Structures are given as C-alpha cells and as structure tokens.
Amino acid sequence: MAKESEVGVKDYHDPPPADLFNAEELTKWSFYRAIIAEFVATLLFLYITVLTIIGHKSQSDPRYVSDQCSGVGILGIAWAVGGMIFVLVYCTAGISGGHINPAVTFGLFLARKITLPRAVMYIVAQCLGAICGCGLVKAIQKTGRYDYYGGGANELADGYSKGTGLGAEIIGTFVLVYTVFSATDPKRNARDSHVPVLAPLPIGFAVFMVHLATIPITGTGINPARSLGAAVIYGKDKAWDDQWLFWVGPMIGAAIAAIYHQYVLRAGAVKALGSFRSNA
C-alpha cells in the first residue's frame, strides 16, 4: 500500500495553467451553462440567507414578541449561510466549479485555474444573481418589513473602525479561499486518495465559522456579490457608504490566499527558482 501511494505521488503532474484567453472556450455550450449555474446558485444563496436574516430580526423584534431570543440568532444565520454554500457547491461543482463568490473566482483566476473571460462572466453572473435573489426576498416580504430590517445589507457595526472592518473581511475571505484551494487541490487528492474528502463540506464549514466570528463586526461579507445585491435592492446610504469594504477586503484576502497556497504550500516559488537556476 505504501509503495502504491509513493508511486502515485511520484507520477503526479500538476495540470498546466489555464490560458489567459481561450477563444475556443467561448464557442462551447459548457461555458454558458457554467455561467447560468453561477447565476442561479448565487440567486438561491441570497434568497435563503437574506430571508433568514430578516426572519431572525422579525422573530426577535420586541414590537411583536416578548422573547427577544426567539429568533434563530447568529448561530442560526451562520448555519444557514454555511449550509447553503455546502448544498450549492455540491450541486454546481461539476458544472461551474461552484464559486458563487467573486472573491473565490478572483483567487482562482490569480492561480491560473480559470481564464479571464470565464472569471469576468462568472463575476457578472454572480452579481446579477445576487441582485435578483434579494429582489425576490423583497417581493415576498410584507410591506415595509424588508426596509425596516435593513434588507440583509452588510454594514459596519457601531464601535468598529473601517480598518477593523477591512481586516475582518480580509482574514475571513482568506480562510474561505484558502479552504477552497486546499479542498480542491488535485495533488492532495492523489496523495491522500485513501482519505476521501467531500470538498463542499470543509468549504461550507469555513463559511459557517467565519460568520460566527465576524457577523458582529461587518455582518460578514466575504462575498462581494452578496454585499452588492443586498445594497442594490435595499438602496440606503449606510449600505453604500461601507460597500468598498466588502469588495476591497475580500479581493485582498483572496489574493493572499492564492499566493500563500500556490507559492508557499505548493512551493511554486521554490520550483520557479529551481527552474531558473537549471536554465542558467
């Protein structure tokens, strides 16, 4: 068994990096099917999570209930978000890769896992899906309830500086994207084939844990499409004032995760230096 494992690792070769632009990709139905899958998945993600947030606030509103702990609480919201990511990644991983997040798409693009056209179209589809998902929530809510409870929009909590909010978004997104790289690493799957890993499970748990930590700070963005969709439909100044935090932070966190995984854990920098020396 050990011998087979060693042979498997020795014979393993990293897949070549994706082309920056592949014109042939644009002629395939699989490309557009993946874009549709990202749109629908992000729509469903926002519909479930924002509806959970507003439902919690209404269930714990002292105007209507005497027990302010009757809502699902932060724990319930985190479970809804993490659980939905698990379900949607499981459903769409074989079609689009199950990104459902512009930060994840950006990180995978930096690591040369996807082409530039695919990255751009994924991000557009994710943002449009998020807007439609939030619009659907507003459409089915009782009159005024969506706006009264903040529309599920991410906002920096009182008492926290913008620097703290930015740091929380960077670290939270780093945890998520780092988990995505680790859970989908083909070399790890080849090396640890005797330990089956269901990739959506650790990804969903990463989202769950990050939400537990950062909901009290920023409401937890770590997904620019999620923050944009809620802000567009809610439309209030506070959501737009802090909107840059939920784009800059996740993109920085995703970039750091991609660099850390590719050039430190996967020794990309050492391999590049070795290749340079051998050529010299």
Domain boundaries, the chain: 23-279
**Residue 145 and residue 54 in contact, taking contact as beta carbons nearer than 8 Å:** yes
Residue 33 clears pLDDT 80, i.e. is over it: yes
- DSSP code, position 63: T
From CA 229, how far away is CA 234, in angstroms rounded?
9
Residue 7 clears pLDDT 50, i.e. is over it: no
**What is the pLDDT at residue 143?**
67
Identify the band that residue 189 occupies on the pLDDT scale cut at 50, 70 and 90.
low
Identify the band that residue 85 occupies on the pLDDT scale cut at 50, 70 and 90.
very high
Give the mean model confidence (pLDDT) for residues 229-237.
Answer: 89
Domain at 23-279, CATH from 1.20.1080.10, 3.30.428.10, 1.10.10.10, 2.60.40.10: 1.20.1080.10
Least confident of 69-83, 117-131, 218-232: 69-83
**Core vs surface per residue 159-190: b (16+ CB within 10 A) or e:** eeeeeebbbbbbbbbbbbbbbbbbbbbeebee
Rounded to two decimals, what is the model's pTM?
Answer: 0.87
Least confident of 102-111, 132-141, 193-202: 193-202
